[in-house]
Chain A
C-alpha cells in the first residue's frame, strides 16, 4: 500500500501547476506558434462573419468587369464571370476551415476511441485494430480519398469523409502509444483498485493524459487535410463550381494563365498561408509539449 501512496504524494507536490497550465505557459513562449494561432483565430472570425465582411455579393457577378486585375474596387481582381475574387476567398475560408475541422474531428474521434480501446485491452483487440490501421496506412492518403470519392461520388461533403478516413489510423496509433504508457501509472492502478469501471477508467483517467499530443497532431492534420481537400477540388473531385472553394478557384484560373494570373495567385496564397499557419501552430504546440523534441 505504501508503494502506491508514496509516489502519489510526491507527484502531488511536484505539480503545483496543472499540466495544462504548464503547457500553456510554455506555449506562450513559442512566438511563431502564437502568431500563427492568432492568425487562425482571426481567419475563423473572418469566415464566420463572411457575409458582413465580404465587399461583394457572391451571387451578383459584374459582367462589365471581367478578368480585371487588382484595383481599389476589387482588391484581388475579378474572375472570368466578373466575380470579386477577394469576396470569394473570404467565403472560401468557410469551406476550407469547415472541411479541415470536421474531417480531422471525425477521423480524430474515431481514431482516439480505437486507440484507447486497443491500448487498454491489448490482446486480440489490439492486434485487430493495429492490423486495420496497417491496411489503412497501406494506401497513400489521397488514393484512399479518391477511392472513397469514387464510391460516394464527387462533392465537398464526401471529401470530408474521404479525408477523415486517413486521419483515423494516425490518431489510433498515437493514442494507443500514450494509453500503453498511462496504463502503467500509479493513478490508473489506484483507480482500478477502487473498482472504477473500464469505460470511466478510459475516458476520465487515461484519455486526458493522451490529449496534449492529440492536440499537436490535430493542428498538423488540419493543415494536411485542408491541402488534400483543396487538391481534390482542384482535380474536380471535390467542391463543384460555382463553389468558392480555394482549390476549385485555382482550377478555374488555369485557363487564364498569362491572361489573368491574379485568378490563380490569390486563392493559392490563401491555401498556402492557412496551411502554413496550422503547421507552425502545430510546431509551436509540439515544442511546448515536449521540449526534448525540439531539435
Chain B
C-alpha cells in the first residue's frame, strides 16, 4: 500500500510541473505587455519600465520562473490588479463559501443519485426504472444556470420564500446547491444503475439468491459493497464537474466564492488572480483524483500490485 502511495505521489510530480509551466507562461501568452497591463493604459513609458522592473519581468525567463515557483511555495501569489490586495487574501476569503457549497451539493446529489440508481437497477425495465432514467438524462442535459434562474423566478420573486442570492444562512444554500448538484445526481444515478446491473449478473449474487437470502439483503449486503468501488471513483470525478459548475452557479446566485472571483477576474483581466485560481483549481482537482485512486486501491488490492 505504501509503495503504491509513493508511486502515485511521484506520478503527479510531472503533471504538476507542466501545470506550473502553463500557469507561468499564461502571463506571457496574454496579448500585449503584462507590465503595461498592470501600469494601466495612461501610464508613461517610465512608469511601465518601473512596473516591469518591480514585477521582475525584465529578468531572463528561467529566472522569472524560479522566482514564480519560490513565491508560490511561500504562498505569495502577487497582488490583485483590481483591489490591490494580496491575491492569497482574496482567495482565502472566497475559499470557504465554495467549499461549503460543493460539500452540500455533493452530499445531496450522491445520496439522491445512489437511491435513484439502485431503485432503477432493482426495478429494471419497470416504470420506476424508466422514470428514474428519464429524470437522469434530463438532469444531465439541464443547464444549471437556467435551473437557477427558474428557481429564483418561482421561489424568490413570486413566492418570496428564499433569498435570490448571497451567502449566510441555510436558506441561501437551498437553491444554489440544487442547481449545482443536479448534474452530479443525474450522472450518479445512471452510473450506479449500470454498476448494480453489472453485479446482479455475477455468480455470487445468483448463489445468494439460490440459497434463499432475502432480496433486501442481496441488494444491500452482497451487491452494494462491490458496486461501491466504481461508484466511489465516479464520486471523485464528479468533484471536477462541481468545480466547473460552481463558476456558473455562483454567478447566478451572487455567491461570494472562487468561481465568481474567477469570472470577475477574467472580465477585469486581473491576471495574478486568474493565475492563482487556475493553479488552485488544478491542484485541487489532482489531489481529489489522487485521493480517489488511493481509496480505490484500498478497496481493491488487485490495483496495488499492478
Chain A residues at the B interface, C-beta cutoff of 8 Å:
131, 134-135, 138-143, 146-147, 149-151, 153-154, 223, 227, 230-231, 234-237, 247, 250, 253-254, 257-258, 261, 264-265, 268, 271-272, 275-276, 279-280, 283, 295
Contact = CB atoms under 8 A, between A and B. Distances in A.
Interface string B131-151: 000000110111111100110
A280 B138 CA distance: 10
B158 interface: yes
B248 interface: yes
A149 B269 CA distance: 11
Contacts of A247: 143, 145
Nearest to B158: A258
Interface string B185-204: 00000000110011000000
24 contacts: A135-B18, A138-B19, A139-B19, A140-B243, A141-B244, A142-B245, A143-B243, A146-B266, A150-B269, A150-B271, A151-B30, A151-B31, A223-B141, A227-B141, A231-B143, A234-B248, A236-B267, A237-B263, A237-B267, A250-B145, A272-B142, A272-B146, A275-B143, A280-B137
Contacts of A138: 15, 19, 282, 285-286, 289
Contact of A134 (B15, B143, B251): B15
Interface in B203-250: 240-241, 243-245, 247-248
A236 B149 contact: no
Given A138-B19, A143-B278, A272-B142, A235 B158 contact: no
Given A146-B247, A150-B26, A236-B263, A264 B149 contact: yes
B281 interface: yes
Contacts of A235: 247-248, 251, 263
A212 B243 CA distance: 32
A140 B271 contact: no
Contacts of B269: 150
User: Number of contact residues on B: which range applies?
Assistant: 35 or more
B114 interface: no
A253 B285 CA distance: 33
User: Main secondary structure on chain A at its contact with chain B?
Assistant: helix
Nearest to B14: A131
Contacts, number: 129
Nearest to A276: B141
A146 B262 contact: yes
A150 B142 CA distance: 26
Contact of A271 (B143, B241, B262): B143
A268 B149 contact: yes
A257 B159 CA distance: 13
A272 B285 contact: no
B22 to A, nearest CB: 8
Contacts of B141: 223, 227, 272, 275-276, 279
Given A134-B15, A235-B263, A258 B153 contact: yes
A283 B29 CA distance: 39
A234 B251 contact: yes
A257 B243 contact: no
B277 to A, nearest CB: 8
Contacts of A231: 143-145, 247-248
A153 B31 contact: yes
B178 interface: no
B95 interface: no
B303 interface: no
A8 B244 CA distance: 49
